Amino acid sequence: MLNATHDPRLKSWVESANDGVTDFPIQNLPFASAKKSSDKGECSIVTAIGDQILPLAPIAALNVASTPLSQEALECCKEPEMNKLMALTPAHWSALRTDISRWLQVGSETQPALQSLLYSQNEAQFKRPCQIGDYTDFYASIHHATAVGRLFRPDNPLLPNYKWVPIGYHGRASSIDVSGQQFHRPKGQTKAPDATEPSFGPCKRLDYELEVGFFIGQNNELGEPLTMEEAEQRLFGLCLLNDWSARDIQAWEYQPLGPFLAKSFASTISPWVITAEALAPFRAPFVREQGEPEPMPHLDSEYNQQYGAIDMELTCSIEAADVPLTQLSQSNFKDAYWSVAQMITHHASNGCNLMAGDLMGSGTQSGPTPEQAGSLLELTQGGKKPIAFENGQQRTFLNDGDSIIMTGYCKREGYVRIGFGEVRSTILPAKP
């Protein structure tokens, strides 16, 4: 999995990439769809290096690709979205990433040609990285599932199937947007416990969900399931995901068919897709506690046992006019009960055809301790215990004007820290 692009000794001629704190050192090299805000044309595929953005489309004409695979991938970067790039093979993705690393290294002969293409990330306008044809959200954190289940079923928080099958539901792709998204508080039908009939109006229990998103690369044909190894080959990259939830709407509508309008009004992703290859140094053994059932054979592999988990720190913060920027929780993706490959494999196990650009969500990522909860539903125990801030303000659920900011990074001794940037979104008042 490791190659020259992961070498911690690599330095870039872009000085901000070498400061030791940036999310985007030369060892990262993520992809996004962006343009300079002052440009009138369409977005194209770019990479991040330090605090700068490098458009990849103009490089296709410079004849600097070292292999046909890299050039073919580079040609796909002329598109406003990365579906064509995602539909290529892992060999294409790796060849392009290797070349980008070579072009940006100290001493590269391409520096004069590329330096003039750079622009600041502060000047960037982002769009969704690809056309998201389908979106599936999983429930991969046993800590979240147990904490939420305990609110409603104290004696039996986990349903019998949880430890055997990656639970998921089909979400809404059209309402997914990138960081900076502003959306109106949703309206819906709810029923108060003491009411005889439901009412319609603005959501009163609006919540965030701290999640990891992952994008599918190559398609599989309808009727063709995937092995665990094939699932790994279809993983293009990861992003941060805030899958907003209207808890009061959800409580009334979810039985018997699960989430619907409580989840379809907005989901927000970070603009940068961190490639599976960039994350290779941060893979960790996928292990379960003693006494837990072993995954079924089709959801197990030696590779998954050794490298299936991803050591990725996640944080969630709030900021508003009456609340200074305050961290709400921190958790780690390696605590997930199901690995990314298991979720992909399960999704295709019935022959479902996954498509390049499909997005999957991990479900709320909570840790084993209460302060590691990835949602307000857990942090406030269903709204019973408000969170108190240093200035005296409180929250049980979210107010209009609140901004939620999520970040993620991977760090391991012997390797350079890489990050995901941030996903930030703000709640507007409900429409009349």
Copy the structure tokens of residue 254. Answer: 């979810």
Asked whether the beta carbons of 135 and 123 are under 8 A apart, the reply is no
Residue 27 to residues 82, 97, 133, 365, 411, Cα–Cα distance (Å): 21, 10, 30, 26, 12
Instruction: Return the number of other C-beta atoms located less than 10 Å from residue 80's C-beta.
Output: 18
- Report the run of H or E that residue 420 belongs to, with start and end: strand 418-428
Helix (H) or strand (E) holding 187: strand 187-190
Pairing state between β 124-127 and 31-36: antiparallel
Q: Quick check: helix, strand or coil at residue 333? A: helix
CA 114 to chain centre: 29
Instruction: Reply yes or no: is the peptide bond before residue 30 cis, omega within 30 of 0.
Output: no
Whether the link from the prior residue into 256 is cis, omega within 30° of 0, is yes
- Is 142 in contact with 162 (CB distance < 8 Å)? yes
User: Please, what's the largest Cα pairwise distance for the chain?
Assistant: 74
Of residues 219, 222, 177, 185, the one with CA closest to residue 204: 185
Measure the CA–CA gap between 318 and 144, rounded to whole angstroms. 20
- Tokens representing 383 are 């709204």
Is 170 noted as a catalytic residue in this protein? no
Catalytic residue, candidates 6, 92, 143, 144: 144
Active centre residues (catalytic): 144
